[in-house]
Amino acid sequence: MGSDTEVHIKRDGINALVVPGWAGQFDPDWFDPGYWGERAVPVSSGGRGSAWFVERSPEHWVLRHYRRGGLAGKLIHDRYLYAGEAHVRSFAEFRLLIQLRVLGLPVPEPVAVMYQRRRLFYSSAIIIERLHGVRPLGDVALALDKHRWREIGQVIRQFHDAGVYHADLNCFNILVGETSIHLIDFDKGELRAPLSPYRTSWKGNTVGRLKRSLNKAYGDELERQWQFFLEGYNVSTNV
C-alpha cells in the first residue's frame, strides 16, 4: 500500500496505520476504550466482548480488539506470536478493507489500526466506521422477506466473484439495513483467485459456514429462507 492510502505512525510504543484523512489528528489513546469513557459502548451481538461503539462527534466508529477464540483464547487472550510486521493480522485486515473499498464492495471504511509488541508476542486493535441503520443478520433473519434473502445471496456472490475470502462468514458478520447489506470482520481474510469453482473450493466452504451459523442460531426455522439465499447466490455477478 502507498502513502495515498495509509500513513505509518510509530508513537508511544505502538505501530499504527492511519488513513491520510485522520493522520493529523491521530492519538494512540483512541485504541483504549477507557479513554472514551461513556462514549464507548460495548457491542452486544456476536464477537467475544472485545468491540465498542465509539463516538467522536460528529464521527461514529467501532473499536475492536483482536482476541483469540477457543482454548488458546482462555490462556493467552489477546496475544499473537510476532513473526514480522508483514504477518500482523490487524495490518492485513486494514489493507484488505482498503482494497475492497477500491473494488466497490460494501464494507466499512477503515480509520486506523495498531499493534504493540511484548517480547515475542503482539496485541492489536482496529478502528472502522460505524454503519448506521443496520443490524446483524443473526438478529433479524426471521423478519426478512424472500427479496432480502436473495439480495444477501447476491452480495455474498459479489464478494466471491471478486475473489474475496472471508474467514468467518457467520450471521453476525453480515449487517442488513433497509437498503444496504455489508460484510464486516475481515480478520484472516484475503483476496484469492476468483475463478476457482465455488462448489468444490473455499467458496462453498464459506457458504457452508454461514449456513451452520444460521442453524446454530435458529435450528431449522430458516430452511425456506435459505433457498431464497441460494437463488440469489447462484446468479453470478460476472457479466
The CATH number for 97's domain is 3.30.200
User: What SS3 state is found at 209?
Assistant: helix
- The predicted model gives 137-157 an average pLDDT of 97
Q: Is residue 2 part of a domain?
A: no
Looking at the structure, do residues 72 and 173 belong to the same domain, yes or no?
no
68: pLDDT confidence band, cut at 50, 70 and 90?
A: confident
Q: What is the mean pLDDT of the chain?
A: 91
Same domain, yes or no, for 177 and 146? yes
What's the mean pLDDT in 54-74? 81
Same domain, 124 and 17: yes
Checking if the pLDDT of 193 tops 80, the result is: no
Same domain, residue pair 149 and 190: yes
217 within 8 A of 121, measured Cβ to Cβ: no
Q: Is residue 172 part of a domain?
A: yes
Residues 54 and 98 in one domain: yes
**One domain for residues 36 and 118:** yes
Q: Which three cell numbers stand for residue 38?
A: 461513556
Q: Is the dihedral of CA 55, 60, 66, 69 positive or negative?
A: positive
Query: What is the band of 50 on the pLDDT scale with cuts at 50, 70, 90?
Result: confident
Q: Does the active-site annotation cover 168? A: yes
Q: Which of 129, 160, 190 is the last residue of a domain?
A: 129
- Pure H helices in the chain: 20-23, 33-36, 70-76, 89-102, 137-140, 146-161, 202-218, 223-233
| Residue 195 falls inside a structural domain | yes
Residue from 168, 185, 187, 220 carrying the catalytic annotation: 168
99 and 138 both lie in a single domain: no
Is 88 a domain residue?
Answer: yes
For 190-221, letters b (16+ CB in 10 Å) and e give: eeeeeeeebeeebbeebbebbbebbeebbeee
pLDDT category at 84 given cuts 50, 70, 90 is very high
122 is in which domain, residue-wise? 7-129
Number of domains making up the chain: 2
Q: Are both 118 and 141 inside the same structural domain?
A: no
Report how far apart, in Å, the C-alpha atoms of 16 and of each of 10, 28, 203 are: 6, 8, 32
